[in-house]
């Protein structure tokens, strides 16, 4: 038999390129097209955003606790399903709280609604795993240290999202940025793992893959998209902001949170640094005030969560534009890196120079 090699013409090349995508063990495990995740975001992770991420081939998570009651979460899941037929998940954040929300009821809604992917965060996912796994739900656990990732892996979660110090929200207390945290975690995590905190573009995705992750999780970058429901002024502040525009609040309470640096956040930092306690800042950090920032665009109404990656964000694209450009530019970058390595001049060793 003779094999005929057909050289692709421009049209065939275009078709091949359109089909090219970055497949990793994360995309395989969670049944998505691209290794790009939109993590849970309080007040932001709603139906329109999550569906837009799903339609673009990424994995979006509704934020369970953004919905005031478990019944509201059921409605939000139904609304998301009207907007997409692609897979999406629900984030369940379990944080210490004086009046804890009814986690078990939210969990029951997730199961009853037939959701197949859950992102857990905030504390040990163990109490929730049996019910999720018994109902065929895959669990992606987000954590900020290698030891917590290893622990979650041993408990049987299906994937790890490892969140570096750069991240918006809760970076933990170890202050280890992604450049060290991701490869340190990759040494010990065998299940699919994505890198989180500080990602916004193709360079980040390629770097995450090189550091040993199977994809990326982004929060701040997805906040600043057309389909994100927050006020345009907040998106404008993210575009205008740079990598120095955040504060770490609650350090002395060992519940550190990275938020936008505004008058309220700076006041909280000052009060706590002077020995103040939670009671002294309780009113300043009230959730209702933070929510006004997102709803009304009053940037100094309260504290609002954002990451250092603001410094890399200078536009407000649709989720489809964002995800497809990250994937296609990442492919170009990977090919380009290879070329750069091949074209490197042979090294002249110092010893050879001495002998010359
Ligand atoms: C406005 C906002 C709210 C967030 N709320 C939550 C939350 O409720 N639960 C959670 O697990 N992570 C939350 N996060 C963290 C993100 O899921 C993600 O881990 C983080 O944003 C990654 O860092 P990046 O912003 O640098 O991409 C939030 C992030 C933002 C920007």
User: 289 is written with which tokens?
Assistant: 């005030």
Whether ligand 1 lies within 6 angstroms of the CB of 142 is answered as yes
Q: Residue 95's pLDDT band (boundaries 50, 70, 90)?
A: confident
Whether ligand 1 lies within 6 angstroms of the CB of 168 is answered as yes
- Cβ burial of 78 (10 Å; 0-12, 13-18, 19+) is exposed
Mean pLDDT along residues 137-160: 98
Does the pLDDT at position 5 exceed 90?
no
User: 295 is written with which tokens?
Assistant: 């709803």
Could you identify the atom of ligand 1 that is nearest to the CA of residue 63? 8
User: What are 174-222's pLDDT values in tens digits?
Assistant: 999 999 999 999 999 999 999 999 999 999 999 999 999 999 999 999 9
User: What are 281-335's pLDDT values in tens digits?
Assistant: 999 999 999 999 999 999 999 999 999 999 999 999 999 999 999 999 999 999 8
Ligand 1 centroid, distance to 169 Cα (angstroms) = 5
Whether ligand 1 lies within 6 angstroms of the CB of 55 is answered as no
Q: What is the pTM of this model?
A: 0.92
| Helix boundaries (H) for 135-217 | 146-155, 178-186, 202-210
Residue with CA at minimum distance from ligand 1 atom 3: 41
User: What are 330-340's pLDDT values in tens digits?
Assistant: 999 998 887 77
Q: Residue 18's pLDDT band (boundaries 50, 70, 90)?
A: low
User: Helix, strand, coil: what percent of the chain each, to 5?
Assistant: 45, 15, 40
**Helix/strand number for the chain, H first, E second:** 16, 10
Residue 161: its H or E element: strand 159-163
Ligand 1 centroid, distance to 271 Cα (angstroms) = 25
Could you identify the atom of ligand 1 that is nearest to the CA of residue 218? 27
Whether ligand 1 lies within 6 angstroms of the CB of 140 is answered as no
User: What are 243-257's pLDDT values in tens digits?
Assistant: 999 999 999 999 999
Percent of the chain with pLDDT over 90: 86
Q: d(Cα 73, Cα 66) in Å, to the nearest integer?
A: 8
């Amino acid at each position: 038999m003779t094999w005929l090699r057909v050289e692709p013409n421009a049209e065939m090349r275009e078709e091949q390129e359109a089909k090219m995508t970055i497949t990793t063990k994360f995309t395989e495990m969670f049944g998505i097209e691209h290794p790009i995740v939109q993590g849970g975001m309080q007040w932001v992770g709603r139906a329109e955003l999550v569906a837009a991420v799903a339609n673009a081939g990424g994995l979006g998570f509704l934020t369970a606790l953004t919905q005031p009651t478990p019944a509201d979460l059921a409605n939000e899941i139904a609304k998301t399903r009207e907007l997409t037929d692609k897979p999406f998940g629900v984030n369940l954040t379990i944080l210490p709280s004086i009046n804890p929300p009814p986690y078990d009821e939210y969990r029951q809604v997730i199961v009853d609604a037939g959701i197949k992917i859950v992102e857990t965060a905030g504390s040990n996912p163990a109490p929730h795993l049996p019910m999720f796994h018994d109902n065929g739900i895959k669990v992606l656990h987000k954590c900020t240290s290698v030891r917590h990732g290893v622990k979650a892996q041993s408990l049987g979660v299906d994937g790890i999202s490892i969140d570096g110090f750069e991240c918006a929200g809760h970076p933990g207390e170890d202050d280890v940025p992604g450049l060290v945290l991701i490869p340190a975690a990759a040494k010990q995590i065998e299940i699919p793992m994505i890198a989180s905190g500080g990602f916004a573009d193709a360079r980040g995705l390629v770097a995450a893959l090189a550091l040993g992750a199977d994809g990326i999780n982004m929060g701040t970058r997805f906040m600043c998209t057309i389909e994100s429901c927050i006020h345009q002024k907040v998106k404008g502040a993210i575009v205008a902001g740079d990598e120095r525009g955040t504060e770490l609040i609650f350090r002395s309470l060992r519940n550190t949170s990275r938020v936008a640096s505004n008058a309220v956040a700076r006041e909280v930092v000052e009060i706590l640094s002077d020995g103040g306690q939670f009671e002294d800042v309780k009113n300043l950090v009230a959730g209702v005030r933070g929510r006004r920032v997102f709803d009304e665009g009053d940037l100094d109404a309260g504290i609002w969560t954002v990451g250092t990656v603001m410094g890399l964000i200078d536009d407000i694209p649709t989720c489809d534009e964002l995800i497809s450009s990250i994937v296609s530019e990442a492919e170009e970058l990977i090919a380009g890196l290879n070329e750069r390595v091949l074209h490197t001049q042979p090294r002249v060793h110092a010893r050879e120079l001495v002998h010359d």
